[in-house]
């Protein structure tokens, strides 16, 4: 396991920035836990964010994995920096069927400008957790906050 | 330009399936137009789906591009088939700043099992349209509707 | 760890198919080991496959990861099936500097039609192994061997 | 069409850097043409770079698309800069069957640090050109030449 360097009270800063994401609030997604270079989110099943067959929408799963990965990267950034998603790729391994969804992201490789990340989505269907999606994403460290897309 | 084959009233079928996507309704995304192998969606800026800097969330942009691409593929599918997103990759070219967002998807290559697609997201900021994101995605044709993730 | 089902002498079949890949021979890449759903390749540094700064070319690293992932998938396929790469995404975490390169691929999720895979490339530079690249790829199971792209 | 800014004799600089890619020479790939933000490569069929069914290896196609895209980006870079592939995603639309292969790359969006690119691979099989693969890739502008993976 990599040992990551952090700056100041990274945890409070990360939670505060997450709380400014209206999209996460609207989708009912919240932080379960965080650590240097890692973040855990969860979301109860939400009928308002399903696709045509009643499962959670692939874009919503991607939204949660993107946010998890972006803030996992953010935990390692200097105090004045912002985070931007350069690109992401999601693979959908199984139908998003379940009562609850967990999202775990981690930093694969930190850098001064770019941070490589990975995320996994798990559905809890009754007793059984099942991996339903995986993402890799490149995050950019933006000094100042101009031009940040999140 | 490729010439695509369709089945029955593909347009009505596509609109009906889109209307069953609660996620699109919640995000305020609607169909502007469609054609064989192509689909146009749009979305007014929505404060409820922003990230921490007030721009539209990258995951929401991806949700719209994914849906546009999925239904562009769906326009070419047999009547009893469903569509599943196998994987997608989005690149975020510019901040998602604007009053309105357009999403255009098209089929790059149809197939009996897999359909390759591409989508482009454009922000309308005042007078100026600006390309903000691009996606490529692989869609799967599912016979019957079991196991569809959308 | 997932437990995977195999068919007949999957190891001999995998090695025989690998031996028909002229590209691997030309690049000096060989199988180090294999197991159900997993494959290890290695390649000594080869000046003939460098980019403009003398490091191993990103496309060559991708070729090795693609082949590792394709044959990791192949170990789980029925005897008469062939394997096709639907799509792949590689991230390049660090410069490909080293005397030797290792490639490990594994199946994330097997399926009757599609198999999701992941691969990691490591450079051995003196004493130190260093992760230099990661890939996720979707592989297709093709019955008969027509239309196979590898 | 975007109008791109270039620096000094970008064409000579691009050709000179391409000529230092031993991998392109080994695979028999050469520059057909270039323009600001665009590059065309071609490759005759080469039995030494096939996969197990005798078609061109997906990794070799990716190598050519990656190089085309990297140098398309490079045409827009300042004189002292180098180019690095951050990540790439390739989709394989059809089997790589043909006597000759063309690769066209273009810059989607230039930037001071990151340049977004796209590439298309076409096989010439008898009379018929056929699109066989597509790639999107993120390229990084590296000041000085340290740490370049290209």
Burial of C4 (0-12, 13-18, 19+ CB in 10 A): middle
* CB spacing of D89 vs B93 below 8 angstroms: no
pLDDT at C149: 42
Give me the residues of chain D with pLDDT under 50, please. Answer: 146-150
Residue D122, min C-alpha distance to chain C (Å): 14
3-state secondary structure B12-78: HHHHHHHHCCHHHHHHCCEEEEEECCEEEEEEECCHHHECCCCCECHHHHHHHHHHHHHHHHHCCCC
Give residues 98 to 127 of A whose Cβ lies within 8 Å of B.
none
Spatial CA neighbour of B78 closest among B142, B7, B3: B7
pLDDT at A42: 98
d(CA C46, CA C38): 25
Whether D57 maps to a domain, the answer reads: yes
d(CA B41, CA B30): 5
Residue B146, min C-alpha distance to chain D (Å): 26
List the single residue in C with minimal CA-CA distance to B137. Answer: C87
Q: Is C94 on the interface with D (CB under 8 A)?
A: yes
Whether D148 maps to a domain, the answer reads: no
d(CA C57, CA D65): 12
Measured over the CA atoms of residue A37, residue A25, residue B28 and residue B127, the dihedral's sign is negative
pLDDT at A127: 86
Residue B98, min C-alpha distance to chain C (Å): 30
- Helix H segments across chain A? 10-19, 22-27, 58-74
With contact defined as beta carbons under 8 Å apart, do D139 and D85 qualify? yes
d(CA D97, CA D58): 11
Over residues B12-38, the pLDDT tens digits come to 999 999 999 999 999 999 999 999 999
d(CA C119, CA C88): 10
Residue B148 has pLDDT above 80, yes or no: no
Question: Coil, strand or helix: which one is A41?
Answer: strand
3-state secondary structure chain C: CCCCCCCCCHHHHHHHHHHCCHHHHHHCCEEEEEECCEEEEEEECCHHHECCCCCECHHHHHHHHHHHHHHHHHCCCCCCEEEEEEEEEEEECCCCCCCEEEEEEEEEECCCCEEEEEEEEEEEECCEEEEEEEEEEEEEEEECCCCCCC
d(CA A109, CA A115): 6
Counting the structural domains of chain C, the total is 1
List the single residue in D with minimal CA-CA distance to B92. Answer: D116
Spell out the residues 6+ positions from residue D101 whose beta carbon is closer than 8 angstroms to its own.
D42, D43, D44, D45, D56, D61, D64, D121, D122, D123, D124, D132
Whether B1 maps to a domain, the answer reads: no
Domain span at residue C109 reads 10-143
List the single residue in D with minimal CA-CA distance to B118. Answer: D134
Q: Is C89 on the interface with A (CB under 8 A)?
A: yes
ipTM summary value: 0.94
Mean pLDDT over C66-79 rounds to 98
Query: A149: which chain B residues are within 8 Å (Cβ-Cβ)?
Result: 51, 53, 55, 58, 92, 94-96, 132
Residue A2 has pLDDT above 90, yes or no: no
pLDDT at C9: 97
- Measure the N-to-C terminal CA separation of chain D; round to a whole number of Å: 27
Residue D130, min C-alpha distance to chain A (Å): 26
d(CA C39, CA B17): 41
Whether D149 maps to a domain, the answer reads: no
Mean per-residue pLDDT over chain B, rounded: 94
Over residues C94-120, the pLDDT tens digits come to 999 999 999 999 999 999 999 999 999
Q: What angle do the packed helices A58-74 and A10-19 form, to 10 degrees? A: 150
pLDDT at D3: 84
pLDDT at C1: 58
Whether A118 maps to a domain, the answer reads: yes
Residue C7 has pLDDT above 90, yes or no: yes
Whether C19 maps to a domain, the answer reads: yes
Mean pLDDT over A80-92 rounds to 97
Q: Which CATH number do you get for residue D129?
A: 3.10.129.10
pTM: 0.95
Whether A150 maps to a domain, the answer reads: no
Query: A91: which chain C residues are within 8 Å (Cβ-Cβ)?
Result: 108, 116, 136, 138
Query: A89: which chain D residues are within 8 Å (Cβ-Cβ)?
Result: 89
Q: Is A93 on the interface with C (CB under 8 A)?
A: yes
Spatial CA neighbour of D60 closest among B7, A30, C150, C17: C150
Q: Of B49-53, C40-44, C142-146, which has the strongest mean pLDDT?
A: C40-44
Whether C5 maps to a domain, the answer reads: no
Interface size, chain B vs chain D, as Cβ–Cβ contacts under 8 Å: 32
Burial of C149 (0-12, 13-18, 19+ CB in 10 A): buried
């Amino acid at each position: 396991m990599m040992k990551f360097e952090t700056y100041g009270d990274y945890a409070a800063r990360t939670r505060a920035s997450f709380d400014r994401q209206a999209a996460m609030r609207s989708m009912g997604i919240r932080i379960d836990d965080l650590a240097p270079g890692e973040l855990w989110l969860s979301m109860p099943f939400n009928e308002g964010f399903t696709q045509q067959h009643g499962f959670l929408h692939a874009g919503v799963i991607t939204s949660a994995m993107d946010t998890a990965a972006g803030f996992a990267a953010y935990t390692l950034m200097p105090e004045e920096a912002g985070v931007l998603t350069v690109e992401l790729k999601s693979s959908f391994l199984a139908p998003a069927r379940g009562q609850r969804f967990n999202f775990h992201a981690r930093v694969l490789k930190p850098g001064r400008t770019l941070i490589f990340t990975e995320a996994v989505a798990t559905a809890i269907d009754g007793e059984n957790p099942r991996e339903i999606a995986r993402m890799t994403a490149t995050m950019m460290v933006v000094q100042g906050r101009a031009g940040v897309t999140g």
